[in-house]
């Protein structure tokens, strides 16, 4: 812990009940940060907080990131509990349907946009002022290679993640002189429970595009998030980082 380079930092991690969010929260705690886990899944949150509690200060809040009032209340609460927030990782997300545009259900389209894009706007909008007060911040958004390339039969997901890349670039420039860096990661396929909501044929399609021929792990996500959350990440903002086993070509 002596060399922990996130010592004293205060963090909100959305989607923290499981998957990438959980792995990032664990890494943050190991590196000395205190963490507020945000998620829809209350049972998952409580279980996650229990299993992480031996590593450091961890609290949780049940929040639907697609609901602005809930996000605003959670941000206020996190500010009080942690005493401020300098790190934000937006990992909450949903996959939506696997269907062509012509059959894509309107309600699922809207839900995917509400969670994957509007939700991250709400979290940034309510948490950035605390970073501005601290004169320091690091935001890491989790988009997807689908947002750069567009996966067939995943139009809402691809569009929401492309929107998130645009939001990151815009916010990064807005905050460029404030010591707050905003970056986005585009993973290819990562081995998490989210894949249970994705058709096997679609997973096979995505894997076939990856030169390394394998899924990534949540630890590999945490490695990059750890760097992007550190003081060492001081000259990179509004940037798109690939974690795609070689799939991304630009």
Ligand X SMILES: NC(=O)c1ccc[n+]([C@@H]2O[C@H](COP(=O)([O-])OP(=O)(O)OC[C@H]3O[C@@H](n4cnc5c(N)ncnc54)[C@H](O)[C@@H]3O)[C@@H](O)[C@H]2O)c1
| Whether the Cβ atoms of residue 203 and residue 188 lie closer than 8 Å to each other | no
* Residue placing its CB nearer to ligand X in the complex, 6 or 164: 164
Decide: 184 and 224 in contact? Cβ < 8 Å: no
Tell me whether residue 172 or residue 187 sits nearer to ligand X (CB atom): 187
Closer of 55 and 207 to ligand X (Cβ): 207
Pairing of strands 87-90, 137-142: parallel
Q: Closest CB to ligand X among 21 and 32? A: 21
- Told to judge if 28 belongs to the known catalytic residues of this protein, a careful annotator would answer no
Residues shown for the chain: 250
The CB-of-45 to ligand X minimum distance in angstroms stands at 8
Choosing from 22, 28, 157, 241, the catalytic residue is 157
Give the C-alpha distances (Å, rounded to integers) separating 166 from 13, 61, 64, 163.
Answer: 21, 28, 22, 5
Q: Which two tokens stand for residue 179?
A: 């010591």
Give the angle subtended at the CA of 222 by the CAs of 217 and 223, to the nearest 5°: 95
Q: Cβ 242 to ligand X, closest distance in Å?
A: 11
Q: Decide: 13 and 34 in contact? Cβ < 8 Å.
A: no
Tell me which residue of 186, 168, 200, 193 sits closest to 247, measured CA to CA: 186
CB of 131 to ligand X, least distance (A): 20
Residues within the interface to ligand X (CB under 6 A): 14-15, 17-21, 39-41, 44, 63-66, 91-94, 115, 119, 142, 144, 187, 189-190, 192-195
* Catalytic residue IDs: 157
């Amino acid at each position: 812990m002596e060399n922990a380079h996130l010592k004293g930092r205060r963090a909100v991690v959305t989607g923290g009940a499981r998957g990438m969010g959980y792995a990032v929260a664990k890494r943050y705690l190991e590196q000395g940060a205190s963490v507020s886990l945000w998620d829809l899944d209350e049972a998952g949150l409580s279980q996650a907080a229990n299993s992480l509690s031996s590593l450091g200060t961890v609290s949780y809040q049940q929040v639907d990131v697609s609901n602005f009032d809930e996000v605003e209340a959670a941000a206020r609460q996190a500010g009080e509990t942690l005493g401020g927030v300098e790190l934000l990782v937006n990992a909450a997300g949903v996959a939506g349907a696997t269907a062509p545009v012509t059959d894509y259900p309107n309600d699922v389209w809207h839900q995917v946009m509400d969670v994957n894009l509007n939700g991250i706007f709400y979290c940034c909008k309510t948490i950035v002022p605390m970073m501005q007060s601290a004169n320091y911040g690091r935001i890491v958004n989790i988009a997807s290679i689908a947002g750069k390339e567009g996966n067939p039969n995943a139009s809402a997901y691809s569009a929401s993640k492309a929107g998130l890349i645009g939001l990151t670039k815009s916010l990064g420039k807005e905050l460029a002189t404030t010591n707050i860096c905003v970056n986005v990661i585009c993973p290819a396929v990562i081995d998490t429970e989210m894949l249970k909501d994705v058709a096997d044929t679609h997973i096979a399609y995505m894997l076939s595009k990856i030169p390394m021929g394998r899924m990534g792990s949540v630890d590999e996500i945490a490695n990059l998030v750890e760097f992007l959350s550190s003081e060492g990440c001081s000259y990179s903002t509004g940037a798109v980082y690939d974690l795609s086993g070689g799939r991304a070509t630009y």
